[in-house]
Amino acid sequence: SPQRRPAASILREMLEDPDKILVCPGVYDGLTARIALDQGFDCLYMTGAGTSASRLGAPDLGLISLTEMHANADMIASLDPSVPLIADADVGFGGPLSVARTVRKYIDSNVAALHLEDQTLNKRCGHLQNKQLVSQDEFLSRIRSSVMARKESGRDIVLIARTDALQSLGFEEAVKRLKAAIAEGADVAFLEGFFTREQGEEICRIMAPTPCLINVVAGGVTPTISAAEAKALGFKVMIWPILSLTEVFNATKRAMKELKETGIKEPVPGGSGGIRDIFGVCGLKECADFDKKAGGSAYSN
């Protein structure tokens, strides 16, 4: 069979397309990833906040481990290897050796890109208050370690340097950190939690030609803007981390409430989301076809 093209190479080609902004819906499990793939997105984003909420039932406070984040990224990246996955790697889960291990594991799973940030080990969601930062030197040791691990692997992964410094140290310091991270070999700049369109435009202008990422979080501090507007500001990558989380939260809560209060959850008239729709988006037909070809009969449609 032909050699599979690494997801990082597919992502790099997209990043180099001058006319493109990559719009990445946040997914956190197999089903949300399948729905995004079914809608034809050409790049996905694995949210750490969503992974923490769905796998641990815990808030995004640095509780989740490398093993859990990697297992989620591994599964999501495997669903359609032709669609690159950008995955959260928080602070890299420890010192330089741990960061290198994280990068190797993500590379092994054909994850196209990861982001590493400059918060302390007990990090928190970038849109919460009172974030604690490590020094620039410590941040750079994380980036350097990831660049070294990538080089030693002989393979590729796009490294996204994220700074959370804007909140406590201001714009200049945040820019300094991002520039230093790019000088160490990171590929994409991620200014977390900026407040205005002007700051967004400014970061893209200052970092050019380095591609910049914008993170749009419902209820977060960055304005919710469209992909077209983000592109006009100069961004190359746009992530919507809690897109599926919010929808699942609202819809599930509504359904639970209805069942609790009335003792029945009526199907939505004419609505989708029955068992066949769900199995269908997860590849029921492909599984049945495969099974049949292999001489099985258990899953014939």
- Least distance (Å) between residue 301 CB and ligand PYR: 37
Nearer to ligand PYR, 199 or 215 (CB): 215
Q: Which two tokens stand for residue 109?
A: 């799973």
Distance CA 66, CA 111 (A): 14
Do the beta carbons of residue 80 and residue 55 sit within 8 Å? no
Task: Report in angstroms how near the CB of residue 125 gets to ligand PYR at its nearest.
Answer: 6
Toward ligand PYR, which CB reaches closer, 147 or 239? 239
Taking the complex as a whole, the smallest distance from the CB of residue 165 to ligand PYR amounts, in Å, to 15
Query: Closest approach of Cβ 50 to ligand PYR, in Å?
Result: 6
Q: Please identify, using beta-carbon distances, which residue of 48 and 84 lies nearer to ligand PYR.
A: 48
Q: How is residue 55 annotated by DSSP?
A: I
Buried b (16+ CB within 10 A) or exposed e, 194-203: beeeebbebb
Coil, strand or helix at 203? helix
* Residue whose tokens read 């950008």: 86
- Residue 74 or 295: the one with the smaller Cβ distance to ligand PYR is 74
Q: How many CB atoms lie within 10 A of CB 210?
A: 18
11: phi > 0 → left, psi -120 to 50 → alpha, else beta; which? alpha
Least separation, in Å, of the C-beta of 161 and ligand PYR? Answer: 13
Structural contact between residues 175 and 203, judged by C-beta atoms closer than 8 angstroms: yes
Which of residues 7 and 64 has its CB atom nearest to ligand PYR in the complex?
64
Q: How far is the CB of 126 from ligand PYR (least distance, A)?
A: 6
- Least distance to ligand PYR, CB of residue 48, Å: 4
Our CB check for ligand PYR shows the closer of 164 and 187 to be: 164
Residues that bind ligand PYR (CB under 6 A): 47-49, 60, 88, 126, 215, 241
Asked if 46 contacts 27 with a C-beta cutoff of 8 angstroms, the reply is yes
Beta bridge partners of 116: 161
CA distance 44 to 158: 14
126 versus 211: smaller Cβ distance to ligand PYR: 126
C-beta separation of 60 from 19 below 8 A: no
